[in-house]
Amino acid sequence: MEMSSKLLERAVAEISQLPGIGKRTALRLALHLLKQPVDQTQLLAGALLKMREEIQFCKKCHNISDVEICEICANGTRDQSIICVVEDIRDVMAIENTNLFKGIYHVLGGKISPMDGVGPSQLNITTLVEKVRTGIVKELIFALSSTMEGDTTNFYIYKQIKDQNIITSAIARGIAVGDELEFADEVTLGRSILHRVPFESSMKNH
């Protein structure tokens, strides 16, 4: 679409780089910003820049954080011996929202998916295995989505830590198979944390 302003054109091009946002939506958003006071755009641009430039990933659990160690890992009241293994930062938020989990997390940053070119080395698996080998971990809860890739990832990790004397569990399959964790309602998700089952028996349903 021909635009009479290169400034607008560039802004639309940048906005439409975002996933799920086409040229037309990008134009609508840009024109909206032009109608609003200039400080709305300044606040938006400032917040995006500050987030991208200053955000850190927790050195212990790889969760998103404003400091070196995230507030969950740094919280003395959280049980450091129970680790909930999740794919993604959004899963941490979803489980935190249930208020039913008092352990800590380990964010893998994805799941093993050869189709998408994601192998174990691209995920935060080594740091998890090392953490387990220190001996402070009593239980590992697998909370990955129940897809083939999720199961593959669970099993890959399980094989590396099964010689250690720890409990391994998987969240209860109260969540429909194939559903994404972040879209589950809080009650279902909370129960799936409370009713976790031993990892071995969780694999029997396959």
The residues that touch a second copy, with contacts defined as CB under 8 A, are 1-8, 10-11, 13-15, 17-21, 25, 27-34, 38, 40-55, 58, 63-66, 70-72, 89-90, 92-94, 96-97
Are 140 and 166 spatial neighbours (Cβ–Cβ below 8 Å)? yes
Closer CB to a second copy, residue 35 or residue 159? 35
Please state, in angstroms and rounded to a whole number, the distance separating the CA atoms of residues 116 and 120: 12
Question: Least separation, in Å, of the C-beta of 127 and a second copy?
Answer: 18
Query: Which residues touch 92 (CB under 8 Å, ≥6 apart)?
Result: 63, 72, 86, 105, 107
Question: Least separation, in Å, of the C-beta of 131 and a second copy?
Answer: 18
Closer CB to a second copy, residue 66 or residue 79? 66
Closer CB to a second copy, residue 24 or residue 133? 24
Closer CB to a second copy, residue 89 or residue 197? 89
Question: Least separation, in Å, of the C-beta of 177 and a second copy?
Answer: 22
Nearest one of 53, 55, 50, 89 to 72, comparing CA atoms:
89
Closer CB to a second copy, residue 21 or residue 161? 21
Residue 5: both structure tokens together: 């302003």
Q: How many residues does the chain have?
A: 206
Are 189 and 95 spatial neighbours (Cβ–Cβ below 8 Å)? yes
Please state, in angstroms and rounded to a whole number, the distance separating the CA atoms of residues 157 and 125: 7
Strand runs (DSSP E) across the chain, as ranges?
A: 56-57, 64-65, 79-86, 103-107, 139-142, 167-170, 197-198
Question: Least separation, in Å, of the C-beta of 27 and a second copy?
Answer: 7
Question: Least separation, in Å, of the C-beta of 197 and a second copy?
Answer: 26
